[in-house]
Amino acid sequence: MAERKKLLLRLDPVVHDALARWAGDELRSTNAQIEFLLRKALADAGRLPSGVGRIRSPGRPRKSTTEGDGDDD
Report if residue 67 sits inside a domain: no
Question: Does residue 57 form part of some domain?
Answer: no
- Checking if the pLDDT of 70 tops 60, the result is no
- The backbone region for 26, taken as left when phi is positive above 0, alpha when psi lies in -120 to 50, beta otherwise, is alpha
Q: How confident is the model over 18-30, as a mean pLDDT?
A: 96
pLDDT attached to residue 66:
62
Q: Under 8 Å CB-to-CB from 58, ≥6 apart: which residues?
A: 26, 27, 28, 32
Asked if residue 23 is part of any domain, the answer here is yes
Classify residue 28 as exposed, middle or buried by CB count within 10 Å of its CB (0-12, 13-18, 19+): buried
Look up the domain containing 29 and give its range: 13-44
Q: Is residue 27 part of a domain?
A: yes
Q: Has residue 24 been placed in a domain?
A: yes
Q: 38 lies in a domain?
A: yes
- Residue 54: its pLDDT value, please? 80
- Number of structural domains (the chain) is 1
Nearest to 18 by CA among 33, 40, 8: 33
Give the model confidence (pLDDT) of 50-61 as tens digits.
Answer: 988 887 776 677
Q: What is the pLDDT of residues 26-57, one digit of tens each?
A: 999 999 999 999 999 999 999 999 988 887 77
